[in-house]
Structure 1
């Protein structure tokens, strides 16, 4: 599973790098209720602390 890289952040912005969109399938999410791995999903809310 790939990680989201924080490039820069401040009080008013956050810049992240998720890599190439062609490699989006390298990211995955564990669904909290179904406990299933879902590939190709990237949610940035936790990464950018919004």
Structure 2
């Protein structure tokens, strides 16, 4: 959930999804090599998350 009170078309944006990650083990521990977000649904004002006004 994202909230930006000053957003013109509403202050809320909700995203539901799942991540597909590929991990690699490094000397410093596990790290994410790449991540894909599969968005299942959204609700609200997308401008809240993008920073658009």
TM-score band, normalised by the shorter chain? under 0.3
User: TM-score, normalised to structure 2's length?
Assistant: 0.22
Between Structure 1 and Structure 2, the one with more strand by share is 2
User: TM-score, normalised to structure 1's length?
Assistant: 0.22
Larger of the two Rg values belongs to structure: 2
Q: Which fold has the larger relative contact order, with Cα–Cα distance below 8 Å and residues 6 or more apart in sequence? A: 2
Between Structure 1 and Structure 2, the one with more helix by share is 1
